[in-house]
């Protein structure tokens, strides 16, 4: 009984020194994650994809978490490069709208990026943190330049940022939960059966998606936030809260 052979019975030839690098591993990890999904990325699976022994990976990354952190760094770099640059003196409404619309599109189109940057529990490296904060700093400067106080600018940025993350993550989770599990057919249910006693939802269900993660939903949410920000700016100009007692 042969025990630890490859499935096809072939045995790899030993790789020569320097034939593997940390970058190769990260690259391969992205390939595997793109093909399946991030949480199906396993060290043995990755090793097979790279055609190396599993333990070779551990020379470069002492924990799987280290590898994921390295991937997150690369993801942040990718993300920052894909984001459109700020147009100076652009109206803040347009700047915010474009920034977060782009952000949503990027994460929607690249699930691995979203998993690494938004869903996985990780702390960014100094460099990744810096790159992300530089983007934020740019938007804050733009907001402040057009009249927001620094505190309000920060709150504005956080609010729309959290909203965007919320819609991306919710959308991702919905997408995952409806992915046919290969076994097919035994999902818990396809459709609600009884809308009785819920006439409003019943009447809306045919024309609107329920989940609230559609383009229309996103546009609506961003629109309402921007509207609320405008009011804030107006109130800020009208009557700055009297300082001191």
Partner DNA sequence: ACCTGAACACCGTTCAAGT
Interactions with DNA, residue window 64-93 (CB under 7 A) = 64-65
| Angle at the Cα of 60 from the Cα atoms of 56 and 64, rounded to 5 degrees | 90
User: Token pair of 212, please?
Assistant: 């609230």
Q: Is residue 208 within the footprint of DNA (CB under 7 A)?
A: no
User: Token pair of 32, please?
Assistant: 């595997």
- Short-list 99, 165, 109, 102, CA closest to 134: 99
Would you say 52 or 139 has its CB closer to a second copy? Answer: 139
Q: Is residue 121 within the footprint of DNA (CB under 7 A)?
A: no
Q: Rule CB under 8 A: choose which of 85, 188, 206, 244 binds a second copy.
A: 188
Q: Is residue 188 within the footprint of DNA (CB under 7 A)?
A: no
We find the least distance from the C-beta atom of residue 231 to a second copy, in angstroms, to be 5
Q: Identify which range of 7-15, 18-26, 88-96, 118-126 contacts a second copy by CB under 8 A.
A: 118-126
Q: Identify which range of 18-26, 27-35, 103-111, 127-135 contacts a second copy by CB under 8 A.
A: 127-135
Site string for a second copy, 214-243 (x = CB under 8 A): --xx--xx-xxxxxxx-xx-----------
Residue with tokens 């690259």: 27
Q: Is residue 19 within the footprint of DNA (CB under 7 A)?
A: yes
34 is in the binding site of which of a second copy, DNA, none (Cβ under 5 to 8 A by kind)? none
Structural contact between residues 94 and 85, judged by C-beta atoms closer than 8 angstroms: no
- Short-list 101, 95, 80, 82, CA closest to 142: 95
Q: Identify which range of 27-35, 85-93, 99-107, 176-184 contacts a second copy by CB under 8 A.
A: 176-184
Structural contact between residues 116 and 38, judged by C-beta atoms closer than 8 angstroms: yes
* Phi and psi, residue 102, nearest 5°: -60, -45
Alpha helices in the chain (DSSP H): 22-35, 43-50, 54-60, 64-82, 92-109, 111-114, 126-145, 150-178, 199-204, 215-238
Q: Rule CB under 8 A: choose which of 77, 90, 134, 215 binds a second copy.
A: 134
For binding to DNA (CB under 7 A), which residues are involved? 4, 11-12, 14-20, 41-45, 52-56, 58-60, 62-65
């Amino acid at each position: 009984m042969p025990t630890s052979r490859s499935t096809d019975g072939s045995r790899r030839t030993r790789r020569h020194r320097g034939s593997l690098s940390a970058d190769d591993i990260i690259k391969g990890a992205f390939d595997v994650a793109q093909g399946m999904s991030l949480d199906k990325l396993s060290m043995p699976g990755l090793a097979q994809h790279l055609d190396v022994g599993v333990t070779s990976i551990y020379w470069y990354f002492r924990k799987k978490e280290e590898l994921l952190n390295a991937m997150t760094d690369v993801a942040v770099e990718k993300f920052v490069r894909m984001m459109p640059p700020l147009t100076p003196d652009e109206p803040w409404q347009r700047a915010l709208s474009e920034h977060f619309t782009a952000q949503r599109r990027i994460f929607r189109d690249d699930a691995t990026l979203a998993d690494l940057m938004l869903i996985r529990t990780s702390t960014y490296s100094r460099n990744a943190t810096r790159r992300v904060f530089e983007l934020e700093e740019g938007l804050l400067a733009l907001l402040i330049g057009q009249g927001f106080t620094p505190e309000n600018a920060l709150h504005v940025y956080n609010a729309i940022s959290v909203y965007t993350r919320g819609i991306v993550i919710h959308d991702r989770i919905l997408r995952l939960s409806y992915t046919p599990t290969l076994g097919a057919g035994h999902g818990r249910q396809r459709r609600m059966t009884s809308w009785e006693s819920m006439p409003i939802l019943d009447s809306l269900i045919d024309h609107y998606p329920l989940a609230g993660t559609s383009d229309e939903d996103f546009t609506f949410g961003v629109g309402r936030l921007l509207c609320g920000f405008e009011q804030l700016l107006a109130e800020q100009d009208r009557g700055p809260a009297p300082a001191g007692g």
